[in-house]
Structures are given as C-alpha cells and as structure tokens.
Structure 1
Amino acid sequence: MIEYQDLKSTTLKKEKYHIQTYFRRVYGWMSCGLLLTAFVSWYVSNTIEVSNYLLNNKFCLLGLCFLQFALVFIMSNLLNRLSGKTLTTLFMFYSSLTGLTTAGIFSVYNQNTIFTAFITTSLMFLSMCFWGYVTKKDLSYLGNIILMGIFGIIISSLTNFWLQNNLLSSIINYVSVIFFTLLIAYDTQKLKNIAKQISLNINDKDNLRRYAILGALMLYLDFINLFFIILNLISNNDNNDDK
C-alpha cells in the first residue's frame, strides 16, 4: 500500500512538472508573438510611407486580414501535418501581420490610452489564466455559451456599424469583455487538459513544440481581442467624459 502511494505521488509530481513545462513554453512563445506584434506595429506607425500606404490601400489591408484568417485556419487544422519549426514560423509570420494591420491604432489612440489598455488587459488576462489553471471546476460547459455570446457580439457589432449608436456600442464592449475574459479561463483549462495528454509522450520534442505553438496562438488571440475591446472601451469613456 505504501509503495502504491509513493508510485502515485511520483506520477502526479511528474505530470505536474510536464504541465508546468508545457505552459512555460506556451507563455514563452505567446510573449514572443506579442512582442513581435508590438514592434512591427510601432515601426510601421513611425514609417510614414508604409503607414500611409496601408491606410490608403484598403484592398491591401483586406488582403492581409484574409491572409491572417488563412494562417489561423492552417495552424489549427493542419497541426499534426506540420512540423514544430514550420508552425513556429507561421505563428511569427501571423504575429508580424497583426502588427501591420493594427499599426493604425497609434494614429487613432493616444499613447496613454494604449498603455492603460495594455496594462488593464494584462492584469485581466493573468487573473483569468490563473483561475482557469487552478480551478477544480470543469469549465467545458462554457464552450457553447461563449461561442453563442461571441456570435451575438459579431452580429450586434455589424448592426451597430450602420446605426452608429454610442449606447449600443458601450453595451457591446462591456458584454465583449465578459465573454472574452471567460474565454481566457476556458482556453487555459483546455490547454491544461492538452498538457496532461501530451505528458504521456513528453520526450517527443516536436510534438511538444507543435502543441505549445497551438496554445500560444489560442492565448495570443484571446489577449489581442481583449486588448482591442478594452482599448475601444477606454477611448469611448474618455470621449464621453470630454462631452
């Protein structure tokens, strides 16, 4: 009985170590992606020729956005067909494209607003990641709720694009914050379950890297989406205060 307990304890410790190893890689690659996006966005915004070209050429901007969707689709659906190095290259390329397509924020929002949005997003992101990681409650039931909520947000946003209603815009932003913070916790727990599965074959370095890039992509998208929602929310509040 004692030997069984020792074996079980050792197994749990190894699993915990493998999960922590996986998450360190996920957050490491995610951080690299965010830093690359921030650098490209800042560089493009300070390069007048490139910035003006992107702002004045809507077809180019739409093409870049379409390419981003294509890259997410490829990385998500061809995970087991691509090597870890290829997925890493695609993820970094995607992060660079995001920097290109979001460079306009520096001409729309002031630096204080951007900094405040980044700090707020970071704190909310870390809090929800922590909760999703440590909670014993199964969050899988949130999947369909979040999906329907985000779908509703998209429909409402498209409708408000024509209505231009400030009150509706604020409501959409607050609701979006709720659903995307829940998504962060949901994705974190989902990645923890993935980590438990791949821990059975932890010596396969390429497999570990592939799933680490997948996790980095998921959390990267969660962070970026939440950042722009909060950025828009802070900007709207500032504009209302000025009136």
Structure 2
Amino acid sequence: MENNNPNYVYENVMQITDADASRKFLANVFLWMFVALGVSTFAAYAFANTPALLQLLVDESTHQLTVFAYIAMFSPLAFVLLIRFGLNSISYPILGLAFIAYAALTGISLSFILLIYTAGSVISVFLTASLLFGVMAIAGYTTHQDLTKFGSIMIMLLFGIIIASVVNFFLHSTGLDVIISYVGVAVFVGLTAYDVQKLKRIGAGLEYGDASAKKYALMGGLTLYLDFINLFLMLLRIFGRRR
C-alpha cells in the first residue's frame, strides 16, 4: 500500500459559494489526476514488458532487486513531501514536474504487479476501481450532507491500516492481510467522496486564474490520485489472480 496520507490541509482558503469556479477548479484537479494516472500506467507497462528496462529493476544474474528498484519504490514519498511543503515556496511549473516525476516513479514501482498478477485480473480490477471511484466522486460532489466528521473517521482508519500493515510485515498473517485489504477498500472509497466534497468547497473559495488556484488544483489531483491508486491496490490484493 502507498503509505502516503491522502488528506492534505489547504490553509488560508476562504470558503464561498461559487458553483462555476468550483467546477473549473475540479476540472483542473481531475486533469492532473488523469495525467498522473496516464504517466504511471505507461511507466508500469513499459518497465514490465521491455526486457532492457526490466533489467534496471531486477539483476539478471542474481534475480535480486537493483538499487534503482529501491529508489523507485521509496523515493515517491520524498516527492509527496516536496510538493506538500513546497506548495507556497516552489513555482507552479516545478511542482508540476515534481508531480509528473512522482507519477512516473510510482508507475515504475507498480510494474511488479504486472509480473505477479495476470493481465486480465489487473485490467478487471482497474475497471472495478474506476467504477467505484467514479460513483463515490459523484456522490461526494452532489451530496448536501457535510462529510467532515465522516472524513475524520476515514483518516483515523487509514492510520490504523498503516500501523496494521507495518505490524503484519513482520507477522505475515494471511488473515490480517485480508482484513486490512477489505477495510482499506472501505476507507479509500469513503475518502474519495470526502476529498471530492472538500475540493469542491475549496474551489468555490478560490479566485479562478490565480496562481495559487493552480497549485491547489495540482495538490487536489495528487490527493485523488493517491485515493485511486490505493483503492486499486487494495482491490487487487483481494481479487487479483496470480500468475
């Protein structure tokens, strides 16, 4: 599981009612998300199906992971922290490049799932995750009920999942792994609705065209990207068929 908290605090944002600005803001958010998913998908497919690239991840003689493989797996967290804490100090183009680099490295690290699971199960799980994500995104956008308390519960459960995953790394309990996967699906389904509603409200309080609005849209795209990727990975752990 990507151990990145998809809940980000957007500071100094005034909440006002402006449906048109909110729609434009969310359009940019989803654009960033789709671009990142496209980059990750391309990187994962390229490294899993190109022998020369795969050798950069797995040593052909020892069949051990290379240094580059470890960099691809652990460096994305550094990019998330860079984007999060550099939101106000780093220029928008640099933040955009950091996001694209993060998506590419994440895709490279995810290329291993194409070697472990059958192509058919990966595609079916991806479509299932897309459907669930889309339904919950619409629910979060259209509901008039405040999801703030609900989101807080989901975030607490997310921390619980992270702690349980670390513990199970040493225990290797199949039962606990199944529980983590099912709870994880519920958490990221819930977080999708919560994050979309939060971003809708943030968009209504930003002046469209302002430089900060572009940065907040990028951060929102990262938030939803993490929601989707983690939902996909949790579903894959449950329904994926190994080779």
**Residues 1-243 of structure 1 correspond to what in structure 2 (within 5 A)?**
15-55=18-58, 56-198=64-206, 201-204=207-210, 206-235=211-240
CA distance, structure 2, for counterparts of residue 65 and residue 104 of structure 1 = 10
Between Structure 1 and Structure 2, the one with more helix by share is 1
Measured in 2, the distance between the counterparts of 1:155 and 1:46 equals 34
Instruction: Kindly provide the amino acid, as one letter, of the partner of residue 151 in structure 2.
Output: G
Q: CA deviation at 1:92?
A: 0.8
Point out 4+ residue stretches in structure 1 off by more than 6 angstroms: none
Per-residue Cα deviation, 1:26-57 (whole angstroms, up to 9, x for no partner) = 11111111011100110111121321331333
RMSD, aligned CA = 1.8
| Equivalent-residue separation in structure 1 for 2:99 and 2:48 (angstroms) | 22
Counterpart in the other structure of 1:6? none
User: CA offset at residue 58 of structure 1?
Assistant: 5.0
Deviations 1:10-39, CA, capped at 9 Å, x for gaps: x96xx2111111111111111111011100
TM-score by structure 2 length? 0.85
Which digits, 9 at most, give the CA deviation of each residue in 1:198-230, with x for residues without a partner? 1xx2232x2222111111100001101111111
Distance 1:161 1:203 in 2: 46
Higher relative contact order (CA 8 A, sep 6+): 2
What amino acid maps onto 2:212 in structure 1? N
The answer (yes or no) to whether the contact 2:184–2:234 under 8 Å persists in 1 is yes
Structure 1 CA distance, aligned partners of 2:152 and 2:29?
24
Q: Unaligned stretches of 5+ in structure 2? A: 1-15, 59-63
Matched positions, count: 222
Greater alpha carbon shift after TM alignment, 163-172 vs 208-217? 163-172
Percentage of matched positions with identical amino acids: 34
**TM-score scaled by structure 1?**
0.85
Shift of 1:196: 1.3
C-alpha contact 1:51 1:104 (8 A) present in aligned 2: no
When structure 1 is superposed on structure 2, of 56-65 and 163-172 the one drifting more is 56-65
* Higher Rg of the two aligned structures: 1
1:98 partner amino acid = T
1:102 partner SS: helix
The amino acid across from 2:231 in the alignment is L
Distance 1:117 1:28, change over 3 A: same
TM-aligned CA distance change 1:28 to 1:172, over 3 Å: same
